[in-house]
A and B are shown apart, each in its own frame.
Chain A
Amino acid sequence: MENAERPFKDQMREQKLFQSRVIACAVGVLLLTAMLVGRLVQLQVVDTQHFTELSEGNRIRTAPLAPTRGLIFDRNGLLIAENLPTWQLVAVPEEIDDLDGTLNALTRLDLLTDVDLEELAGSVRSRLGFERVTLGNLSESQAARFAVRRHRYPGVDIQEGLVRHYPYAGAGVHAVGYVGSISSDDLELIDRGEYAATSQIGKTGVERSYESVLHGQVGYRQQEVNAQGRVLLDPAMTEGGENQPTLLTRWPTPGRHLILSIDMRLQLAGARAMGVQRGAAVAIDPRNGDLLALISTPGFDPNRFAAGLSRNDYVALTTDPDNPLFNRALAGRYPPGSTIKPMLGLAALHHESVDPHEDHYCGGYFRLPGSTHRYRDWRPQGHGAMNLHSAIVESCDVYFYQLAVELGIDSLGSSLTAFGFGAPTGIDISGEAAGIVPSREWKRQQFANPADQVWFPGETVIAGIGQGYTQVTPLQLANASAAVAASGRRFRPRLLIGTEDAVSGAFEQVEPVEADPVHVADESHWQMIQDAMLGVTNEPSGSGLTAMLGTPYTVAGKTGTAQVFSVGQDEEYDEDNVDERLRDHGLFVAFAPFDAPEIAVAVVVENGGGGNRAAGPVARAILDAYFGIEDHGDSYD
Chain B
Amino acid sequence: MATATIDWGANQQRPLRSLLPGGVSLNVDLPLLLTMLAITGFGFIVLYSAVGENGSLLLRQAVRCGIGFCAFFALAQVPPNYLRAFTPWVFCGVFGLLLLVMIDGEVGKGAQRWLSLGVVSFQPSEFMKLAVPLMVAWFMHDRSLPPTLPQVAVLVLIVLVPALLIARQPDLGTALLVVAAGSLTILLTGVSKRIIAAVGLAGLVSAPIAWQFMLDYQRARVITFLNPESDPLGAGYNIIQSKIAIGSGGIFGKGWLNGTQAHLEFLPERSTDFIFAVMAEEFGLMGLLLLLALYLVLVGRGLFIALAAQDTFTRLLAGSLTLTFFVYVFVNAGMVSGLLPIVGVPLPLVSAGGTSMVTLMAGFGMLAAISGQKKRLAA
A residues whose Cβ falls under 8 Å from a Cβ of B: 1-3, 6, 8-12, 14-22, 25-26, 29, 32-33, 35-37, 39-41, 43-45, 47-48, 50-52, 54-56, 58, 61-62, 126, 128-129, 184, 188-194, 212, 220, 222, 225, 227-229, 248, 250
- Please measure, in the bound complex, the distance between the C-alpha atom of A557 and the C-alpha atom of B49, giving whole angstroms: 68
Interface string of B156-181 (1 = CB under 8 A from A): 00000000000000000000000000
The reply to whether B285 and A55 contact each other, CB–CB distance below 8 Å, is: no
The reply to whether B244 and A54 contact each other, CB–CB distance below 8 Å, is: yes
Partner of A40, one of B246, B323, B326: B246
For A192, list chain B residues within 8 Å (CB): 269
The reply to whether B110 and A54 contact each other, CB–CB distance below 8 Å, is: no
The reply to whether B292 and A36 contact each other, CB–CB distance below 8 Å, is: yes
Partner of B303, one of A26, A45, A48, A194: A26
The reply to whether B266 and A44 contact each other, CB–CB distance below 8 Å, is: no
For B237, list chain A residues within 8 Å (CB): 62, 220
B221 is an interface residue with CB less than 8 A from chain A:
no
Partner of A36, one of B114, B233, B333: B333
The reply to whether A44 and B234 contact each other, CB–CB distance below 8 Å, is: no
B299 is an interface residue with CB less than 8 A from chain A:
yes
- Please measure, in the bound complex, the distance between the C-alpha atom of A615 and the C-alpha atom of B345, giving whole angstroms: 58
Q: Looking across the interface, which residue of chain A has its beta carbon closest to that of B249?
A: A44
Partner of A51, one of B81, B248, B251, B316: B248
Sample of 29 A–B contacts (CB below 8 Å): A2-B310, A2-B377, A8-B144, A14-B144, A15-B2, A15-B4, A18-B306, A18-B316, A18-B319, A19-B2, A21-B319, A22-B319, A25-B184, A33-B292, A33-B296, A33-B330, A35-B339, A48-B250, A52-B248, A56-B248, A58-B264, A61-B266, A62-B233, A188-B108, A189-B121, A190-B109, A193-B268, A220-B234, A220-B237
For A248, list chain B residues within 8 Å (CB): 232-233
The reply to whether A40 and B110 contact each other, CB–CB distance below 8 Å, is: no
- Please measure, in the bound complex, the distance between the C-alpha atom of A3 and the C-alpha atom of B307, giving whole angstroms: 16
Interface string of B257-286 (1 = CB under 8 A from A): 000110111101100000000001000110
Task: Give the interface centre of A11, A25, A48 by most chain B CB atoms within 10 Å.
Answer: A25
Q: Looking across the interface, which residue of chain B has its beta carbon closest to that of A48?
A: B250
The reply to whether B233 and A222 contact each other, CB–CB distance below 8 Å, is: yes
Task: Give the interface centre of A3, A9, A33 by most chain B CB atoms within 10 Å.
Answer: A33
Q: Looking across the interface, which residue of chain A has its beta carbon closest to that of B374?
A: A2
Q: A33-B296, A44-B247 are in contact. Are A22 and B306 (CB under 8 A)?
A: yes
Partner of B334, one of A1, A36, A62: A36
The reply to whether B145 and A18 contact each other, CB–CB distance below 8 Å, is: yes
Top 10 A-B pairs, shortest CB-CB distance: A51-B247, A55-B248, A189-B108, A229-B264, A17-B190, A191-B109, A43-B247, A220-B233, A44-B285, A51-B248
B220 is an interface residue with CB less than 8 A from chain A:
no
Task: Give the interface centre of B106, B142, B312 by most chain A CB atoms within 10 Å.
Answer: B312
The reply to whether B263 and A14 contact each other, CB–CB distance below 8 Å, is: no
Partner of B187, one of A21, A50, A184: A21
B residues 35-67 touching A (CB-CB < 8 Å): 52-53, 56, 60
For B316, list chain A residues within 8 Å (CB): 18
Interface string of B183-220 (1 = CB under 8 A from A): 01001101000000000000000000000000000000
For B290, list chain A residues within 8 Å (CB): none
B residues 303-362 touching A (CB-CB < 8 Å): 303, 306-307, 310-312, 315-316, 319, 323, 326, 330, 333-334, 337-339, 354
Partner of A55, one of B106, B244, B299, B337: B244
- Please measure, in the bound complex, the distance between the C-alpha atom of A261 and the C-alpha atom of B336, giving whole angstroms: 48
The reply to whether B247 and A52 contact each other, CB–CB distance below 8 Å, is: yes
- Please measure, in the bound complex, the distance between the C-alpha atom of A64 and the C-alpha atom of B244, giving whole angstroms: 20
Q: Looking across the interface, which residue of chain A has its beta carbon closest to that of B257?
A: A128
B107 is an interface residue with CB less than 8 A from chain A:
yes
Give, as a whole number of angstroms, the nearest-CB distance from B93 to chain A: 22
- Please measure, in the bound complex, the distance between the C-alpha atom of A1 and the C-alpha atom of B84, giving whole angstroms: 14
The reply to whether A55 and B144 contact each other, CB–CB distance below 8 Å, is: no
Q: Looking across the interface, which residue of chain B has its beta carbon closest to that of A129?
A: B263
B245 is an interface residue with CB less than 8 A from chain A:
yes
- Please measure, in the bound complex, the distance between the C-alpha atom of A636 and the C-alpha atom of B332, giving whole angstroms: 60
Give, as a whole number of angstroms, the nearest-CB distance from A231 to chain B: 11
Q: Looking across the interface, which residue of chain A has its beta carbon closest to that of B330?
A: A32
For B187, list chain A residues within 8 Å (CB): 21, 25
Give, as a whole number of angstroms, the nearest-CB distance from A457 to chain B: 38
Q: Looking across the interface, which residue of chain A has its beta carbon closest to that of B106?
A: A189
B residues whose Cβ falls under 8 Å from a Cβ of A: 2-4, 6, 52-53, 56, 60, 81, 106-110, 114, 121, 142-146, 184, 187-188, 190, 232-234, 237, 241, 243-251, 260-261, 263-266, 268-269, 280, 284-285, 288-289, 292, 296, 299-300, 303, 306-307, 310-312, 315-316, 319, 323, 326, 330, 333-334, 337-339, 354, 377
For A45, list chain B residues within 8 Å (CB): 250-251, 285
Give, as a whole number of angstroms, the nearest-CB distance from B141 to chain A: 10
For A37, list chain B residues within 8 Å (CB): 289, 292
- Taking A25-B184, A48-B251, A51-B244 as known contacts, 11 extra A-B pairs with beta carbons closer than 8 A to each other, sorted by chain A number, are A17-B145, A18-B145, A18-B315, A36-B333, A37-B292, A51-B246, A61-B265, A189-B121, A190-B108, A192-B269, A228-B264
For A19, list chain B residues within 8 Å (CB): 2, 307
Give, as a whole number of angstroms, the nearest-CB distance from B180 to chain A: 12
The reply to whether A14 and B108 contact each other, CB–CB distance below 8 Å, is: no
Q: A21-B187, A62-B237 are in contact. Are A36 and B330 (CB under 8 A)?
A: yes
For A56, list chain B residues within 8 Å (CB): 248, 260
Give, as a whole number of angstroms, the nearest-CB distance from B224 to chain A: 14
Q: Looking across the interface, which residue of chain A has its beta carbon closest to that of B184?
A: A25
Q: Looking across the interface, which residue of chain A has its beta carbon closest to that of B311?
A: A2
For B334, list chain A residues within 8 Å (CB): 36, 39
- Please measure, in the bound complex, the distance between the C-alpha atom of A188 and the C-alpha atom of B107, giving whole angstroms: 11
- Please measure, in the bound complex, the distance between the C-alpha atom of A188 and the C-alpha atom of B355, giving whole angstroms: 11
- Please measure, in the bound complex, the distance between the C-alpha atom of A14 and the C-alpha atom of B296, giving whole angstroms: 26
The reply to whether A48 and B248 contact each other, CB–CB distance below 8 Å, is: yes
Q: Looking across the interface, which residue of chain A has its beta carbon closest to that of B122?
A: A188
Task: Give the interface centre of A40, A220, A225 by most chain B CB atoms within 10 Å.
Answer: A40
For B56, list chain A residues within 8 Å (CB): 184
For A2, list chain B residues within 8 Å (CB): 310-311, 377
For B265, list chain A residues within 8 Å (CB): 61, 229
- Please measure, in the bound complex, the distance between the C-alpha atom of A58 and the C-alpha atom of B81, giving whole angstroms: 57
The reply to whether B233 and A250 contact each other, CB–CB distance below 8 Å, is: yes
The reply to whether B299 and A29 contact each other, CB–CB distance below 8 Å, is: yes
Partner of B339, one of A8, A39, A50, A55: A39
Q: Looking across the interface, which residue of chain B has its beta carbon closest to that of A211?
A: B107
For B250, list chain A residues within 8 Å (CB): 44-45, 48, 52
- Please measure, in the bound complex, the distance between the C-alpha atom of A190 and the C-alpha atom of B265, giving whole angstroms: 21
The reply to whether A58 and B339 contact each other, CB–CB distance below 8 Å, is: no
For B330, list chain A residues within 8 Å (CB): 32-33, 36
- Please measure, in the bound complex, the distance between the C-alpha atom of A227 and the C-alpha atom of B261, giving whole angstroms: 10
The reply to whether B264 and A50 contact each other, CB–CB distance below 8 Å, is: no
- Please measure, in the bound complex, the distance between the C-alpha atom of A16 and the C-alpha atom of B146, giving whole angstroms: 11
- Please measure, in the bound complex, the distance between the C-alpha atom of A61 and the C-alpha atom of B232, giving whole angstroms: 11
For A11, list chain B residues within 8 Å (CB): 4
The reply to whether A17 and B146 contact each other, CB–CB distance below 8 Å, is: yes
Give, as a whole number of angstroms, the nearest-CB distance from B356 to chain A: 13
For B184, list chain A residues within 8 Å (CB): 25
Q: A17-B146, A37-B292, A45-B250 are in contact. Are A55 and B260 (CB under 8 A)?
A: yes
- Please measure, in the bound complex, the distance between the C-alpha atom of A227 and the C-alpha atom of B258, giving whole angstroms: 13
The reply to whether B312 and A14 contact each other, CB–CB distance below 8 Å, is: yes
The reply to whether A191 and B110 contact each other, CB–CB distance below 8 Å, is: yes
The reply to whether B264 and A129 contact each other, CB–CB distance below 8 Å, is: yes
Give, as a whole number of angstroms, the nearest-CB distance from B17 to chain A: 25
- Please measure, in the bound complex, the distance between the C-alpha atom of A221 and the C-alpha atom of B264, giving whole angstroms: 16
Q: Looking across the interface, which residue of chain B has its beta carbon closest to that of A14?
A: B145
Give, as a whole number of angstroms, the nearest-CB distance from B75 to chain A: 20
- Please measure, in the bound complex, the distance between the C-alpha atom of A188 and the C-alpha atom of B121, giving whole angstroms: 8
The reply to whether B337 and A36 contact each other, CB–CB distance below 8 Å, is: yes
The reply to whether B52 and A128 contact each other, CB–CB distance below 8 Å, is: yes
The reply to whether A9 and B245 contact each other, CB–CB distance below 8 Å, is: no
Partner of B264, one of A15, A22, A35, A225: A225
For A188, list chain B residues within 8 Å (CB): 108, 114, 121, 354
